[in-house]
Amino acid sequence: MGNFSAQLPQITVAVPSFNQGSFLDTALESIFSQNVPVEVFVLDGGSQDCSLDVIRKWEQQLAWWRSEPDNGQAAAVNEGIRRGTAPYVCWLNSDDLFLPGGLSTLLKCITLSEKQAAVYGKVWNITEDGRRKKPYRTVAFSVRHLANRCFISQPATLIRRDAWEAVGGLDETLTMAFDYDLWWKLYKSFGPLTYVDDFIAANRRHDATKTTRKRKEHYLEAMQIVRKYYGRVPLKWIVSWPVRVNGWQVLQWLKDRMTGTKNTRG
């Protein structure tokens, strides 16, 4: 990693976190090992695990951090971005990570034209212990595809600060699909987002994630967003509801039987 301490930051990175100390160190290491000058803001919601120890380990390299109860993930991300000054912005959830050179790849692409409000690349889905599972299904931008599903994986995105500010950042009234809402706002204001055919980041899948624990809420919120920006909810959302929302329960049942784990709830 080069020494960028004397250079003006090119990218503001907000890192929202709450009781994710077991992953936070890996996330921060992946940011500071990027070969671009960054300013990093950690927004911790008052964690009671080892998060503070991890934050203090990286304190000298952080632009700023805090650990106190807040108004949720979207508000935390907005706060981090607002505190920064770099011309490009992104956020990395504390259980995700950047792949080597990922931010540099996005930065090179977005600086090619001032017309590009945001760029996005490919992402690996990884297990809780960091093993690669399969790529997230990312495709080149089309509004029809965006209406059918969120094909943009948040950890692999980079946004112009002026575009972020123009659309108001994340909608803090949303609790699950605020990233999906942001892609729609950027598209509506600036046109299609630019696809980069390279792997940029890794998205960690584990039982504690909101998308795992609150599938129904996530799905309903996403459908409301589609209706808001697209005018209707495509049939695919309705047809796939049983699998997307309830399918995980079947998979968990099979997993429990295969591992001998018993469900003691209820």
Q: Where are the domains of the chain?
A: 11-259
pLDDT band at 74 (very low <50, low <70, confident <90, very high): very high
- pLDDT value for 245: 60
- Contact of 38 with 13, CB cutoff 8 Å: yes
Quote the tokens at residue 180: 């999906």
pLDDT tens string 165-220: 999 999 999 999 999 999 999 999 999 999 999 999 999 985 655 655 567 888 89
The distance from CA 28 to its chain's CA centroid, rounded to whole angstroms, is: 14
Name the pLDDT band for 250 (thresholds 50, 70, 90): very low
Q: DSSP per residue over 112-138, as a string?
A: T-TT--EEEEEEEEE-TTS-EEEE---
Of 74-78, 104-108, 242-246, 262-266, the one with minimum mean pLDDT is 262-266
Report how far Cα 3 is from the mean position of its chain's Cα atoms: 27
CATH code at 11-259:
3.90.550.10
Check whether 260 has a pLDDT greater than 90: no
Mean pLDDT value across residues 106-116: 95
pLDDT digits (tens, 9 = 90+) for 7-45: 899 999 999 999 999 999 999 999 999 999 999 999 999
Residues of the chain with pLDDT > 90: what percent? 77
Say if CB 62 and CB 41 are below 8 A apart. Answer: yes
47/105 Cα distance (integer angstroms): 33
pLDDT at 3: 46
Name residue 1's beta-bridge partners.
none
Q: What is the pLDDT of residue 56?
A: 98
Which residues, 6 or more positions from 106, have their beta carbon under 8 angstroms from its beta carbon? Answer: 90, 119, 120, 121, 156, 157, 158, 196, 200
Would you tell me the crossing angle of helices 178-190 and 215-230 to the nearest 10 degrees?
A: 20
